[in-house]
Copies of this chain bind each other. A is one copy, B any other.
Amino acid sequence: MRLPTAQSSSAGDTASYPFDGPTERLAEKYRRVREQTVALCAGLSAEDAVVQSMPSASPAKWHLAHTTWFFDEFVLHPARGQHIASDSWRYLFNSYYQSIGPMQARPQRGLLSRPPLGQVLEYRRRVDEEVGKAISTMAGDKALADAVTLGLNHEQQHQELILTDIKHLFWRNPLQPAYRDRAPAAGGRNSMPLRFLRGEEGMGRIGHAGSGFAFDNELPQHAVVLHPHALANRLVTNAEFREFIEAGGYRTPTLWLAEGWDTVQREAWDRPLYWSTDMHSAFTLDGVQELDAHAPVCHVSFFEADAFARWAQARLPTEAEWERRAMTSRSDGNFLESDVLQPRAAEADTGANPLQMFGDAWEWTSSPYTGYPGYKALPGALGEYNGKFMNGQWVLRGGSCVTPRDHIRATYRNFFAPAERWQFAGVRLARDA
C-alpha cells in the first residue's frame, strides 16, 4: 500500500508564526500541517512504515498514528467527552503520558504490524473530520484553539522525526535505499572564511513573550547575564570536520568529555554518522552522495561537537548567547520547505550578520536542558510534554533542513542526549571575548 501524495498542500497558505489569526486560519493550518505529514510518507511502502531501526527511532506508521492520537486525546476527548480510538489503540499510540495510562514500550513500537497502515490512515481521516467540525463549531473557544495549535506544533516535530527515522532505517539496510531519487545539488559554492562576530554583553532577556505559540519550556521570559563572547559567522563545514579527523581528533582523549571518550571507544566512532569510510561521501535521503566540503557537518553528537570545539580552541555557544543573536538574525534558511533535505553551504558573506542561524542543522549549545527560572509545566497530562526530560540532555537551537519553517523561532529549544547522532545536528563555534 502506498500513501497518497499530498495534494498541493502548501499552495497559497501564508500562515506564519506566530499564529494569532481568526478561526478560518486555524482550520487551514490544521489541514495544511496534517496533509504535510502524510505527504512526507508518500514514498514509503507499508513495509517501510512499520519497521523500527533502533529504540530511539519510531516507525513512520507509529508517527502517523501517534500524532493523530494526540488530537484525539487532547482535542476531541475534552471537546466531545469520548475518544475515537479504542482503548487498545490508545495504549498503542500513547507515547509517554503516564497520566493518561500505560503504553506500548518505546523499543517495541516496531512490533506493530497491526493495525495495518490503511487503518491508521483511516483513523487520521476520522480524527481530521472531527477536529475540523470542532474548529468550525467552537470558534472562539480558546482552550480548543490552544490544544489544536499545540497539536500542530507537536505534529511538526514528528514530521522532522519521520525523516530522521526513515533515514536511519534506510541506512541500516545493506541495500541503502534512497528516500527519494534526486540528483545531488550542484554544490560547489565557495568556502566562506570563518570569522567570529562579537556578541552582546551584559543583562538581557531570553525566552518567549507575547501572544504567539510557544512550548512551556520557552517560558517565562527572564533576565540573563551575557559574558563577553563572540559567535562564528557560520556553521562548521565538512572540510573543517575532516581536518579534525585527520588531526587525530577521534584518537585524542584529552579533547573529549569523559563519557564522550567512553562512547568513542565503545562505539568505535571515527567519523560522523552516515559518512562513508572514504570520508568523502555520506548517506543522505537521496542515497549515498559526495560530501560537499563547504556544507555544514551534520549528524554529530554533542560529544563530537564539544570535542571539535575544544580542538578548535573554541567552545559551543550558550543558549542565551545564541538566542540573543538569533533575535536580530535573518530567520529564513534551508528548511524542510526548501526540499533539499540536507545542509547546504553558506551563501556569500553578509558582514556582521551570522549565517545559517536558522535551518540547515540544529546547533548544539553548551547549555544543559533545564527549566527556566519560574518554569511551570502545563497542567494535567500535557505537563509531561517537556518538563520530565530536563535531565541529561543538551539544548539545540535553530532548526534544520528537515524542520518546517513555521515551526521554528528564536526562542525554540530542542534537546537531545549527548550521544545521539541521528538528528540533523551540527556545530557553531563560540569564544570568550
Q: Known contacts A222-B227, A259-B392; is A113 also within 8 Å of B45 by CB? A: yes
Cβ contact of A225, chosen from B51, B203, B392, cutoff 8 A: B203
Complex CA distance for A99 and B252, rounded to whole angstroms = 9
The yes or no answer to A260 lying at the interface (CB within 8 A) is: yes
**Residue in B117, B169, B370, B384 whose CB lies within 8 Å of A368:** B370
A383-B310 Cα distance, complex, nearest whole Å: 13
CB < 8 Å neighbour of A114 from B92, B175, B391, B392? B175
Known contacts A174-B88, A223-B225; decide if A114 and B48 are in contact (CB<8 Å): yes
Q: CB distance B47 to A383 under 8 Å?
A: no
Contact (A373, B418) CB under 8 Å given A47-B113, A111-B173: no
Query: Which of B254, B318, B384 is within 8 Å of A383, CB to CB?
Result: B254
Identity of the chain B residue whose Cβ is nearest the Cβ of A418 in the assembled complex: B391
Does A389 belong to the interface (CB within 8 Å)?
yes
Using an 8 Å CB-CB cutoff, how does the interface string of A42-53 with B read, 1 for contact, 0 for none?
Answer: 000111111101
A329 within 8 A of B: no
Within the complex, what minimum Cβ distance (angstroms) separates A325 from chain B? 16
A369 nearest CB across to chain B (Å): 8
- With A174-B88, A370-B366 already in contact, the answer to whether A111 and B256 are too (CB < 8 A) is no
- A 171-182 binary contact with B (CB < 8 Å = 1; else 0): 011110100000
A residues adjacent to B (C-beta < 8 A): 1, 45-51, 53, 61, 88, 91-92, 96, 98-99, 104, 108, 110-117, 169-170, 172-175, 177, 203, 222-225, 227, 253-254, 256-261, 318, 366-368, 370-371, 373-374, 383-384, 388-392, 418, 432
Cross-chain pairs A/B with CB under 8 angstroms, 16 sampled: A47-B50, A47-B116, A50-B51, A51-B110, A91-B174, A111-B172, A112-B173, A222-B227, A224-B225, A257-B389, A261-B388, A318-B373, A366-B371, A368-B370, A373-B432, A392-B392
